[in-house]
Amino acid sequence: MDTSYPREDERPPKRGPPPNVPPPRDHLVWAIFNTLYMNFCCLGFVALAFAVKARDRKVAGDVEAARHFSSKARCYNALATAGSVVVPLLLIALIVTGVIHLSKLAQESVGFFTYQFSGSDDEDQ
């Protein structure tokens, strides 16, 4: 009595991504740009690490891991870009409001000192 499993002559087809699904993007160029130009709190470097991992997984054929790392790279790239744009704009706004405040303060102090000097001339007469 033969209890071995029957052998199949044909191999099952390989399971892979459907042909109409494009491979995930790795966002490597965006991460390099954030790392070199606008590295806010090292988020550009973190994005670069995840972008490289996404590219490695894509080359290895692990599409799900590539999508996961690609999503993280996109998130860190967006945070790095937003932080690098918002922080300088906030700094410029603070400088402009400080200059406006100091100019008003200087105008008020000039008015105060001219009043003091003109008041001392009246006492001499």
pLDDT tens, 92-110? 999 999 999 999 988 888 7
**pLDDT average, residue stretch 22-38:** 89
pLDDT at position 21: 76
> For residue 121, how many other CB atoms are within 10 A of its CB?
8
Name the band, by pLDDT with cuts 50, 70 and 90, for residue 7. Answer: low
Domain ranges of the chain: 27-56, 60-124
Residue 30 contacts by C-beta under 8 Å, 6 or more apart in sequence?
47, 51, 77, 81
The residue with greater pLDDT, 115 or 64, is: 64
Q: Is the pTM of this model over 0.75?
A: no
